[in-house]
Amino acid sequence: MRYASDLVPGRLVRRYKRFLVDVRLEDGRDVTAHSNNTGAMSGCLREGARVWLRPVDAPHRKLPFTFTLVQAGRSLVCVDTSLAVPMVREALAAGLLPELEGYSRVLSEVPYGVEGRSRIDLLLSRGGELPAKTSGRALPVNDERVYVEVKSTTLVEGRASSFPDAVTTRGQKHLEELIEIVRAGQRAAMIYGVMRSDADHFEPADAIDPTYGRLLRQAVREGVEAYALRARVGPRRLRAVDRLPIRL
């Protein structure tokens, strides 16, 4: 997957207010970029680290750049959480997840959950019928589905990729909702996009969010599928290259 625009290199000055990073570009300009990664990004925010920003030309945006890549030791890390779902889409098309093949429809941001207030990252669907569209997006009925939640993972400790890197009540809720999907008779899957190449397995970050780790283990016991995809990250493109074993 190539980035939507050429990335602009620079050096990290600081990250603050969760959504903002200051960067000194190679031409000497100081700019503020938006960060859509609200996690701690532990190990990725060393002052002076080499970073890459993605230019965004959108009338609603106040900041012209999105914080996209950072050099962490020997590894290049993608910290732009918006790229995890497109990467997973490509991985599905490339056959990296044969367990999830055979679904003719791939839908995004479909409302789901007990209250219908959450949105699933990807809904895989096959069979059933498409009703006549009245208003909004028409979803198939009587189809087979897999509800897929994607998590962007940047934390590596030793050789373990771990999620989350901060306590996440939202992530806990997603696991609870996937459990309910399985209990209702449909498939559900959690996919961890490991957005760096220096890990050899995935495990929940129990020391950071023990509740999340407990819920992930419960979800897997109840039938929620879990997968981890390792990315190859470069300043021109990003792609999932293989799968990592998950240790629970």
pLDDT at 17 over 80: yes
Quote the mean pLDDT of the chain: 94
92 backbone dihedrals φ, ψ, rounded to 5°: -65, -45
In this prediction, residues 6-20 reach a mean pLDDT of: 96
Between the alpha carbon of residue 29 and those of residues 24, 107, 156, 216, the distances in Å are 6, 41, 31, 44
Which domains are delineated in the chain?
8-77 (2.40.50.580), 81-243 (3.40.1350.60)
What is the per-residue pLDDT for 59?
A: 80
CB atoms under 10 Å from CB of 231, counted, come to: 25
Q: Are 178 and 224 a contacting pair, CB within 8 Å?
A: yes
Question: pLDDT-based confidence at 57, cuts 50/70/90?
Answer: confident
Question: pLDDT-based confidence at 133, cuts 50/70/90?
Answer: low
Higher pLDDT, 86 or 114: 86
In this prediction, residues 197-202 reach a mean pLDDT of: 97
pLDDT at 93 over 90: yes
Q: Are 69 and 235 a contacting pair, CB within 8 Å?
A: yes
What is the per-residue pLDDT for 58?
A: 79
Using alpha carbons, select from 101, 75, 211 the residue that is nearest to residue 153.
75
